[in-house]
Amino acid sequence: MATTDTQSSTKTMKLEVFRFLPDEGEPPSFQVYEVPYRDDWVVLDALNYIKDEIDGTLSYRWSCRMGVCGSCGMMVNGEPKLTCSAFLRDYYPQQIKVEPLSYFPVIRDLIINMDHFIDKMGEVKTWLIPAEDKPIEDGEYLQTPAQLAKYKQFTMCINCMLCYSACPVFGQNPDFIGPAAIALGQRYNLDSRDGGADERADVLFSDEGIWECTFVGECSEVCPKNVDPAGAIQMAKVTATNDWFKSFLMPGGRKKSGGNK
């Protein structure tokens, strides 16, 4: 055990941690660890303590420890949380249950397989597709503050996937494009410099895109960056509906997506 001789180290707290070791060939189980309680510790600190001092076989992802990288998302007492931002003091003295993010396949312990999510971002094309190609000598693409405001909120996404673990629709249908990938698609669709809305429409406006969403709304509640993916999806539904009507009303009107920028 570590030499933690401070006053607070006399208090301890129990963590019930999901364990899955594929090499052992045994079904997943829960293991309880007792860690020192400190009121300035977060769940990630407790996991690091377990890894360093108690059980080096415990595996989990983490990096920045400050809610920026989006790596340490896990279920804490059934809620998707960034463990670097979930303080022990909010749970003390109750035992804390730590599980891998819901609905994703588990590779080992608290580590989920995120391949499918990365693929979805590729399908949606969550990158800038310039509306007009211009040579570098012509300078930058200018944008007004009002144009920036329309998509800025959606740029805050850190791909932590908490929204997916809060989404029962994703739980039922793993092929649902899902909150973050759709919000990121909107982020570029609403960008005045972007011209890729038509390319994204087939995936974004498909049955497995926005129309799979039944507006549970919890994705926005758990988002640590206030991206509001639920809002992004509903706004995309309005855009898609308007486009659909316009394609009928406008003589020779071609399918145009992306909404007003």
Partner 1 sequence: MDNDSSTPTAAGPVPAKQHIRKMPVNWWLKKPAYLRYMVREITCLFVGGYAMFLLMLAARLDKPEAFETLLASPLAIGLQWVALPFAIYHSVTWFNLTPKVLVIWRGEDKLPGFLIAGAHYAGWLAVSAGLVYFAMSGGTDG
249 sits in which H/E element: helix 229-249
Instruction: Pick from 14, 51, 65, 237 the residue near partner 1 by CB under 8 A.
Output: 237
Instruction: Pick from 159, 234, 240, 242 the residue near partner 1 by CB under 8 A.
Output: 234
- Three-class SS state of 46: helix
Query: Between 86 and 125, how does the x/- string for binding to partner 1 read (CB under 8 A)?
Result: ----------------xx-xxx-----x-x----------
What b-and-e string marks burial along 206-224, b requiring 16 or more CB atoms within 10 Å of the CB? eeebbebbeeebbbbebbb
Using CB under 8 A as the binding rule, whether residue 81 contacts partner 1 is answered as no
Ramachandran category for residue 177: left, alpha or beta (phi over 0 → left; psi -120 to 50 → alpha): alpha
Q: At what angle do helices 229-249 and 197-204 cross, to 10 degrees?
A: 110
Query: How many Å apart are CA 81 and CA 15, to the nearest integer?
Result: 15
Is 76:21 a contact under the CB 8 Å cutoff?
Answer: no
Using CB under 8 A as the binding rule, whether residue 128 contacts partner 1 is answered as no
140-159 positions binding partner 1, by CB under 8 A: 145-146, 148-150
Going from the C-alpha of 147 to that of each of 8, 31, 96, 222, the distances in angstroms are 51, 51, 44, 27
Instruction: Choose one: 9-17, 135-143, 233-241, 246-254; the region binding partner 1 (CB under 8 A).
Output: 233-241
For partner 1, the closer of residues 7 and 144 by Cβ is: 144
Instruction: Pick from 230, 243, 257, 258 the residue near partner 1 by CB under 8 A.
Output: 230
Going from the C-alpha of 49 to that of each of 41, 84, 94, 131, the distances in angstroms are 10, 13, 18, 50
Instruction: Pick from 23, 133, 137, 140 the residue near partner 1 by CB under 8 A.
Output: 23
Is 194:188 a contact under the CB 8 Å cutoff?
Answer: yes
For partner 1, the closer of residues 38 and 150 by Cβ is: 150
- State in angstroms the smallest separation of the CB of 110 from partner 1: 12
Q: What φ, ψ does residue 166 adopt, rounded to 5°?
A: -95, -5
**Which of 112, 98, 84, 81 has its CA nearest to residue 222?**
81
- State in angstroms the smallest separation of the CB of 106 from partner 1: 4
For partner 1, the closer of residues 49 and 176 by Cβ is: 176
Using CB under 8 A as the binding rule, whether residue 168 contacts partner 1 is answered as yes
For partner 1, the closer of residues 8 and 172 by Cβ is: 172
Per CB under 8 A, residues contacting partner 1 are: 20, 22-23, 28, 78, 102-103, 105-107, 113, 115, 145-146, 148-150, 168, 171-172, 214-218, 220-221, 228, 230-231, 234-235, 237-238
